[in-house]
Structure 1
Amino acid sequence: MEAVIFDFDGTIVDTEALWIDVYQELIQERYEYEVPLEVFQACIGTQDTSLYDYLTTHVDAHITRDELSPFAEKRVNERLVDLPVKDGITDLLRTLHEQGVRMAIASGSQLKFIAEFINKHSIAHYFEAIRCADDVVHVKPHPEIYEEALFALNLEPEQCIAIEDSENGAKSAVAAKIPCIVVPNDLTSSGHFPEEVTILSTIEEAKEQILAIHTK
């Protein structure tokens, strides 16, 4: 095992709850409507149109991504940098670096969000490559983001491990043929994860498993 490829939202930082809160705020302000949590849960780990399909069906037939997305991004960007790195991640990054394991990020987020966060929290230097929504046509669960990360690292899938938290992210890693560890959170634990993944409870457990594989 040569490298670990990290998801960003929900793995490095708990942005998923933030995105949901922001969209709920905007939709409540503009349309006085509360979207069921399960609609947002289906969108976690991807940027597909399912939220907007729901809104056009149940709220207003003329709602578009452009009508909400820029305002949501602005609010998220204002609050994101104040969120902490998730428990165990900084220690995992430091340990992998000490062990000579290469690291990358493969995320459906935009680079501006990722870069600002990892720079503020002084973890940017751990990542050799970042591949995100700006770099691909198809976001997760399509494998393209992981395939681009593999290309950037010049490694084969079996030389890497992906760390994910969501169903869509896990499906993306599996489709790219990368062994995947999933550490779900409260929003993603009800997902239908591919049978190929390893599901663990904490990042600490993930660290132990990764180190065991690396030192074989």
Structure 2
Amino acid sequence: MTIKALIFDFDGLLMDTETTLLDSWRAEWRRHGLELDESTFFADHGGDTTDEKYELLAGAVGPGFDRAASHARRTAYRDERHRTLGLTAGLDAWLREAEGLGLRLAVASSSRRDWVAGNLARTGDLARFEVLACGDEVPAHKPDPAVYRLALQRLGLPPEAAVAFEDTSHGVSAAVAAGLRCVAIPNLYAHNARFDQATLRLPSAAGTTLTEVLTQVEAAPI
């Protein structure tokens, strides 16, 4: 096997933090008797869009909107949901299989390092990853390839020696722009038709072994 390392996105791929994010905002809109427009909720790029989301909610609520109180409620709601949030189905088995194959593991995320490391530490998975490359360590977010290039730099590997795993089209674009082959597992809110750049697309990580996936990846052109 020529593949030496696996590089995973975090939000929506390793953990379904996308659903908890959406639920927290949906609950906050409903508290004000409003419905969130979910069709435009997820951005087509990585990074933090919190300010934009609060501006939209404030505009809908009007002058009485209290952002500080809203933020406190919403984050408390999401934190409670995260108490029992673990790895996405099938990912624990893949990570164990990767460890057995001697593959090195990394994360490349547009989110802050404290967010990624904190969530992985909470579930006892942080030590499994040799490298973290995060959004607050690079000048631009996905689809910019900077975070993947940083992960490869820290691994000391060329892109052909690693495979990326992503749940969004802009994440796939970032991985491909860094020269990586990429396995796409679209999240529940992604548009499946936008994953043409992926080397391989799967409905989930459950039901297939990592070895089977990597065999298909290795057979594909770089």
Q: Smaller-chain TM-score range?
A: 0.7 to 0.9
When residues 150 and 203 of structure 1 are mapped into structure 2, their CA distance, relative to the original with a 3 A threshold, is: same
**Does structure 1 residue 187 correspond to structure 2 residue 206?**
no
The answer for unaligned runs of 5 or more in structure 1 is none
Which range moves more in the overlay, 111-120 or 36-45? 36-45
Question: For residues 188 and 135 of structure 2, what CA distance do their matches in structure 1 show?
Answer: 24
Partner of 2:173: 171
When residues 80 and 2 of structure 1 are mapped into structure 2, their CA distance, relative to the original with a 3 A threshold, is: same
Secondary structure of 2:102 counterpart: coil
Q: Which residue of 93, 98, 103 corresponds with 2:105?
A: 103
Partner of 1:160: 162
Q: TM-score, normalised by structure 1?
A: 0.82
Question: For residues 55 and 176 of structure 2, what CA distance do their matches in structure 1 show?
Answer: 28
Question: For residues 87 and 167 of structure 2, what CA distance do their matches in structure 1 show?
Answer: 15
When residues 44 and 150 of structure 1 are mapped into structure 2, their CA distance, relative to the original with a 3 A threshold, is: same
Paired positions, count: 213
Mapping of residues 192-203 of structure 1, within 5 Å: 192-203=194-205
Secondary structure of 1:150 counterpart: helix
The answer for unaligned runs of 5 or more in structure 2 is none
Q: Considering only aligned residues, what root-mean-square deviation do their CA atoms show, in Å?
A: 3.2
Secondary structure of 1:104 counterpart: strand
Letter in 2 for 1:7: D
| Cα contact 1:81–1:116 (8 A) shared by 2 | no
When residues 59 and 206 of structure 1 are mapped into structure 2, their CA distance, relative to the original with a 3 A threshold, is: farther
Partner of 1:36: 37
Q: Which residue of 72, 76, 83 corresponds with 2:85?
A: 83
| Cα contact 2:160–2:180 (8 A) shared by 1 | yes
Secondary structure of 1:203 counterpart: coil
When residues 122 and 36 of structure 1 are mapped into structure 2, their CA distance, relative to the original with a 3 A threshold, is: same
Question: For residues 171 and 84 of structure 2, what CA distance do their matches in structure 1 show?
Answer: 24
Partner of 1:143: 145
Question: For residues 59 and 47 of structure 1, what CA distance do their matches in structure 2 show?
Answer: 21
Calculate percent identity across the aligned residue pairs.
28
Q: Which residue of 111, 114, 125 corresponds with 1:112?
A: 114
Letter in 1 for 2:150: E
| Cα contact 1:8–1:107 (8 A) shared by 2 | yes
**Does structure 1 residue 209 correspond to structure 2 residue 210?**
no
Question: For residues 38 and 66 of structure 1, what CA distance do their matches in structure 2 show?
Answer: 26
Deviations 1:59-112 (A, max 9, x none): 37999x999767655543343232121111111001101111001001122222
When residues 114 and 195 of structure 1 are mapped into structure 2, their CA distance, relative to the original with a 3 A threshold, is: closer
Larger radius of gyration: 2
Q: Which residue of 128, 131, 134 corresponds with 1:129?
A: 131
